[in-house]
Structure 1
C-alpha cells in the first residue's frame, strides 16, 4: 500500500499534478531537534529542474512541517510534512493522442486495470513526485541514525547505459574485488558526490562522458537507464529479522519500490557468483581502532560496546545470514530508461480497437539516476531506522531479565588454532 515500515512508519500521499504531496511519519523518537532546515537539503538534491539533463519542471520542493514538533523538537507524535506542487501542467496530458493510447512500459494501463480509473495527467501515483514524501521521511531517519550511531549513507551513480565507473573484467567480475572501488566506499561522502554534478558519478572523466551521453538521448527525445550504488557506514551489528525480514530482503523491498527500478544486488552481487568460496568468504578478524575506529555517538555515550570482531574482506556487503555484521553495507540498484519519451512508438488504444503511434508530451528526465541518488539514500535510511528500533526494543526487553551465566558455546581447539565445526 502507501505505508512503509513497522516501528518507523511512513505513509506518503499525492499524485504528479495534484495540489500537494507529502507524508506522515509515525514512530519518530521524541526529544530530537528537528526543523525544515534538516530536511530541505535532501529535498533540493531530489527536485526537478537541477540541470540540462533533468526534467525542466520547475519545482522548488519547499518542505513544511505541519505537526509532530514544537519549538523545533520532536514530540513523539506523528510528523506531517507537505510540499506544494507549484509547476504542475495537467494540460500537457490533455491531448487526444495521450488520452487514447497508454504509454509503452508506463503504468497507465496497469493502474487502469487495477483500479478501473487512473489519474489523467502525469503518472499519477506512479510518478516520481510520490518520492518526495520518502525523501522527507528519510531525512528525519538519517538525523536520528547519525546522532545515535554515527550512521552515514551515501549513494552515487556508477553507470549510465553501458558506461560503467567500474567495468567488470576477468580479474574483477564484481566491483567488490576491485581495490579502487573498496577504497572509494571507505571515503565517499555526499559533499564529494555533489562535486560531480549534474550526474553525481564521483569520477571526473566518467562523469563528463555520462553527462554527454545522457544529453545525446535527451536531444533525440529518447531516454537511457543506469545504476546507483549506495554505502551505509557505521550501521550497528545485529540488524535484520530472520527469516523473511532479513536485512538485505528489506533493502531489496525498499529499493524495488522506487519508481523505474528493475534490479538489486548486494555486496558482490551477481559477479560474486563467478569466484570460488575460498576467495569469496569474509574471514573474521579482531576489531581494533585501525579497522573499526570508535565514533562519538549516542550509543558510545550510553556505554554500548562495539563488536569484538570485524571482517578482513567484505564480499557479503555487511550482511551475513540476513543480519548486519557491523561492516559497511553496500548495494547497487538498477533503473530502467524512463518510459515517457518523445520518440513516436507503436502502441494500441486503451479499448484495444486500434493500433497507432504515440509521441508523448510533457517534461521528463532523459535519465533518472542523477536524481535517484537521494531517493536511494532515503529508502536506505528508512530500512536502517526501522530495524534499529526493532533491535532497540529487543535489547531493552532482554536487559530487564537476570543475566545468563553462559551465552556462547565455544568450540574446542583441535590443533594449530583450528576449531572443529560440524556441518548441518
Structure 2
C-alpha cells in the first residue's frame, strides 16, 4: 500500500491496524542529540487515548508507547526512531455482523473496490487508531521545534456549531472540560448537545483551530511545496478532516483587497504586520507572524441509528452499527492536528537549511 509516509527531510511512516497486534511509526531524519524520553511521547498519546470521558469511545486502551530504536542514553542518535503501541482491548467480534456490509461514511466500499478485500475489524488501516503513529511522531517534532522557539497549540474552536467566544477565550480552560475547548461557557453548551446526541444515537462534528508561534520568516517553498499547501496536505490526510483554511480562509472571497491585505510596519528595526489576514503565510513562505489555520472535522460516521446501505452481493440492506465509538471526533483529533502541523513545520525548517549559500556556510564554512 502506497501513501503511508509523509515528509522529505523529516519523514514519518505509520504502520499497523486497529485490531492487529499494534500500531506505530518510524521517524527518519530527526537530528542527533535531541534529549528524548519515552515520557515526552507518552504525554502526547495520553491526550488522544480513548475512554477518558463518556464523549469518546469506551475502548479501554492505555496506549503505552515503546521506543524500539533511535535513542541512546536519553538522546536521539540520528538513526530511525521506531515506536510501537500494542493493542490490548480489541473486540473484533463486534464487527463480525458487518463484515460483508459497507458502512455509510466509512472507507469500507472504496477499500474493497480498490484492493478486492477489506479488514472489517474497525476499518483496519482506515481506522482513526492509525493516528497514534502520527501523534508519536508529532511529539518528537514538537520537541525539536520547541528548542527553536516554535510552539504549536491546537484547540476545539467549535463543536456542533457552538463556537468559542473571544471574550471567554482561555487556553487553561481546555484542561477543565472533555472537549478541549478554551471557553467554559461554550463547553457547557457542547456538553448539553453531546448528551442529546448520545440519546438520539447520533454524532456531531466541529472545527479545530491551530496557532503556530515563534516562526522565522521564509519557511516553505514558492511553487508546489508552499507551506500552506504542505499544511493542507498534512491536515487533510487525517481521516476525519473534510476542510482546511488558513488565515481568513473562505472569508477572503467576501473581502476587498484593501481589507484583505496586511499592512507592513517597522517596529524596533523588525518588519511586522498590523493584521494577519494571511494566516502567517505569504507566497507559500512563513512571514514571521503567527500561522493560524482551521480544520473541519466531520461527525463520527459510526452511529447506532438505522441507515440504508449495500452489501458485497449488491443487496440493499439496513445497518445499525454497534460497538464502542466516539459521539464526536473533535476532542481527540486536537492533538492529531497539532502533531501533523509539527511534522510539517519541522520538515520545512530542515529543508530550509540548504536554501542559501549563507546557511550552508554557517554550517560548513570556516
- The normalised TM-score by structure 1 is 0.82
Note the residue ranges of structure 1 that are not aligned, 5 or more in a row. 167-179, 289-306, 402-424
Q: Please give the per-residue CA displacement for 1:254-292, whole angstroms capped at 9, x wherever unaligned.
A: 01000111100100111232221112210111144xxxx
How many Å apart are 1:222 and its aligned residue? 1.0
Task: Tell me by how many angstroms 1:215 deviates.
Answer: 2.1
Stretches of structure 2 that go unaligned for 5 or more consecutive residues are: none
Kindly indicate whether residue 149 of structure 2 is the aligned counterpart of residue 150 of structure 1.
yes
Q: Distance in 1 between matches of 2:331 and 2:76?
A: 32
Provide the residue aligned with 1:254 in structure 2.
234
CA separation of 1:212 and 1:378: change in aligned 2, threshold 3 A: same
1:161-176 alignment runs, 5 A limit: 161-165=160-164
Does the 8 Å CA contact 1:5/1:383 hold for their aligned counterparts? yes
1:126 matched residue in structure 2 = 126
1:399 and 1:21 map into 2 onto residues whose CA distance is 38
State the SS of the aligned residue for 2:355: helix
| Residue matched to 1:295 | none
SS in 2 for 1:130: helix
What value does the CA root-mean-square deviation take over the aligned residues?
Answer: 1.7
Q: Give a deviation string over 1:202-237, Cα, whole Å, max 9, x none.
A: 111101111221221122221111110000011211
The runs of at least 4 consecutive aligned structure 1 residues that moved more than 6 Å come to none
- Asked if residue 382 in structure 1 is aligned to residue 343 in structure 2, the reply is yes
Residue number among 57, 60, 67 corresponding to 2:59 in the alignment:
57
SS at match of 2:145: helix
| More displaced 10-residue stretch of structure 1: 245-254 or 154-163 | 154-163
Mapped pair 1:351 → 2:313: yes
Question: Does structure 1 residue 275 correspond to structure 2 residue 259?
Answer: no
Aligned residue number for residue 137 of structure 1: 137
What corresponds to 2:301 in structure 1?
Answer: 339
Shift of 1:393: 2.5
> 1:198-347 maps to which residues of 2 (within 5 A)?
198-288=178-268, 308-347=270-309
| C-alpha separation in 2, matches of 1:350 and 1:89 | 23
Q: Displacement of 1:242 after TM fit?
A: 1.7
In structure 2, what is the Cα distance between the partners aligned to 1:42 and 1:310?
33
CA distance 1:209–1:194, change in 2 (3 Å): same
| Native 8 Å contact 1:21 1:82 kept in 2 | yes
Instruction: Check the 8 A contact 2:151/2:213 in 1, yes or no.
Output: yes
Match of 1:370 in 2: 331
> 1:399: how far off?
4.1
Please identify, of 100-109 and 373-382, the stretch whose mean Cα deviation from structure 2 is larger.
100-109
State the distance in 1 between where 2:243 and 2:223 align. 22
Shift of 1:200: 1.0
User: For the structure 1 residues 193 and 239, does the alpha-carbon distance in structure 2 shift closer, same or farther, using more than 3 Å as the test?
Assistant: farther
- Counterpart of 1:46 in structure 2 is 48
Residue deviations 1:329-349, cap 9 Å, x none?
A: 001100111111110101111
Cα offset, 1:398, TM superposition: 4.8
Contact 1:156 1:193 in 2 (8 A): no
SS at 1:33 equivalent: coil
Shift of 1:117: 1.3
Query: Closer, same or farther in 2 for the Cα pair 1:397/1:109, shift >3 Å?
Result: farther
Residue pair 1:155, 1:374 contacting (<8 A) in 2 also: yes
Q: Residue 139 and residue 396 in structure 1: after superposition, are their counterparts in 2 closer, same or farther (change >3 A)?
A: farther
Equivalent position SS for 2:82:
strand
Q: Structure 1 364/396 Cα, relative in aligned 2: closer, same or farther at 3 Å? A: farther
Q: Distance in 2 between matches of 1:36 and 1:231?
A: 26
* Deviations, residues 383-419 of structure 1 (Å, cap 9, x unaligned): 0000000011224665439xxxxxxxxxxxxxxxxxx
Q: CA contact under 8 A between 1:153 and 1:233: conserved in structure 2?
A: yes
If the length of structure 2 is used for normalisation, what is the TM-score? 0.95
Question: How many pairs were matched up?
Answer: 360
- Tell me, in whole angstroms, the C-alpha distance in 2 between the residues paired with 1:216 and 1:226: 16
Q: 1 CA distance for matches of 2:62 and 2:267?
A: 45
